[in-house]
Amino acid sequence: MSNLFNAGQKKSWESNDNKFTFIDLFAGIGGFHMAFHRLGAECVFASEWDEDARKTYEANFKDISPSLFKEGIFAEDNNMFAGDIREVNEKDIPDFHVLTGGFPCQAFSQAGNKRGFDDTRGTLFFDVARIIKEKQPEAFFIENVRHLKNHDDGKTFETIKRVITEDLEYSFYPFIVKAKDHGLPQLRPRLFMIGFRDRRISFEPPESIPLKLNMSDVFGGDCEREIGFTIRVGGRGSGIDDRRNWDAYRVDDEVVTLTPKEGKKMMGFPADFKFPVSEAKAMKQLGNSVAVDAVEAFAAKVVGKLKKHYEIS
């Protein structure tokens, strides 16, 4: 595939023929989509297998990215919002500038044997790699739990790094990122991995910023914690004195439980973000999502680097 940007030839970033584009893999409820949309980017393809997450995604992005749900060859209703990425032929994905996604972490059966792509077959990272290999995007921005760096004594992370830098020949910049360092009131440490097809592009993380709101702002009352617990998938209702507690808080001297209303604020989703599912499922979806403001801060740096490198106004 030819470079979507013509190096040295200035074009308007927002012109119809050169709209900044990305794809949203393992999309969940759209944290990456929300972050890149705020930067003026257009999502041209998305993939998510979980039916409940798909409902939430479509409810919130059908108006923002209507082409995802009206055109294409994927999914039962013939749109560009695919289900299981393993069933998608990478050649059928439209051209795009940046690949994004928070792929699940799985053990690599051959990790450490330096077999390149064969090390990752049967894992969902392999689908990320095969799409990058075929489509040759300008950059990627993928995310995972911070413990991926130490998974299987570090072999999984080293395999991912080796595939990206040696097999795909992209640069590789990993960072452990906390949501609280980008304005949101929870720790939520995550591993961000960013890389560029043109290895001459350097990348530095964005600077930390103060909290935009604290837990008292989240609840609208006096909360004993300034920064909240990391929102999780399981363990709801453990109780405020349980060491596993993450959703019970003391506000105005009363114990209250976190709901999607507060969870959206902690994750950086707008107040009008919709959950067409039960509260329990909504909380699970938030626990599986990315902190939008943290992603946006790094995405803005990626966009800025590409603009500067390709002299795009």
For residues 151 and 134, the model is more confident at 134
Query: Both 297 and 250 in a single domain?
Result: no
DSSP lists the bridge partners of residue 223 as: 251
Phi, psi of 301 (to 5 degrees): -70, -40
DSSP lists the bridge partners of residue 43 as: 22
The per-residue pLDDT for 122 is 59
Q: How far, in Å, CA of 75 to CA of 178, rounded?
A: 35
Q: How far, in Å, CA of 192 to CA of 185, rounded?
A: 19
Task: Name the pLDDT band for 78 (thresholds 50, 70, 90).
Answer: low
- CATH number of the domain to which 105 belongs: 3.40.50.150
Q: Is residue 250 part of a domain?
A: yes
Q: Is residue 1 part of a domain?
A: no
List strands edge to edge, sheet with 190-196: 81-82, 42-47, 21-25, 98-101, 139-145, 190-196, 173-177
The per-residue pLDDT for 111 is 45
Task: Please give the residue range of the domain that contains residue 98.
Answer: 16-208+291-309
Q: What is the overall mean pLDDT for the chain? A: 88
Q: Is residue 3 part of a domain?
A: no
Q: Encoding tokens for residue 149?
A: 């760096």
Query: Both 299 and 261 in a single domain?
Result: no
Query: Both 265 and 143 in a single domain?
Result: no
Q: How far, in Å, CA of 142 to CA of 191, rounded?
A: 8
Query: Both 120 and 199 in a single domain?
Result: yes
Query: Both 67 and 164 in a single domain?
Result: yes
- Average the pLDDT over 199-206 and give the result: 96
Query: Both 108 and 257 in a single domain?
Result: no
The per-residue pLDDT for 6 is 44
Q: Is residue 56 part of a domain?
A: yes
Query: Both 143 and 71 in a single domain?
Result: yes
Q: Is residue 252 part of a domain?
A: yes
Q: Is residue 6 part of a domain?
A: no
Query: Both 283 and 302 in a single domain?
Result: no
Q: Is residue 237 part of a domain?
A: yes
The per-residue pLDDT for 15 is 41
Query: Both 223 and 204 in a single domain?
Result: no
Is 209 strand, coil or helix? strand
Q: Is residue 4 part of a domain?
A: no
Residue 250's nearest CA partner among 259, 258, 262 is: 258
DSSP lists the bridge partners of residue 82 as: 47
Q: How far, in Å, CA of 77 to CA of 68, rounded?
A: 11
Residue 298 has pLDDT above 60, yes or no: yes
Structural domains of the chain, count: 2
Query: Both 235 and 94 in a single domain?
Result: no
Query: Both 111 and 186 in a single domain?
Result: yes
Query: Both 59 and 73 in a single domain?
Result: yes
Active site residues: 105
Residue 164 has pLDDT above 50, yes or no: yes
Q: How far, in Å, CA of 56 to CA of 124, rounded?
A: 22
Task: Name the pLDDT band for 190 (thresholds 50, 70, 90).
Answer: very high
Is 19 strand, coil or helix? coil
Task: Name the pLDDT band for 121 (thresholds 50, 70, 90).
Answer: low
Chain segment 19-65, per-residue pLDDT in tens:
789 999 999 999 999 999 999 999 999 999 999 999 999 999 999 99
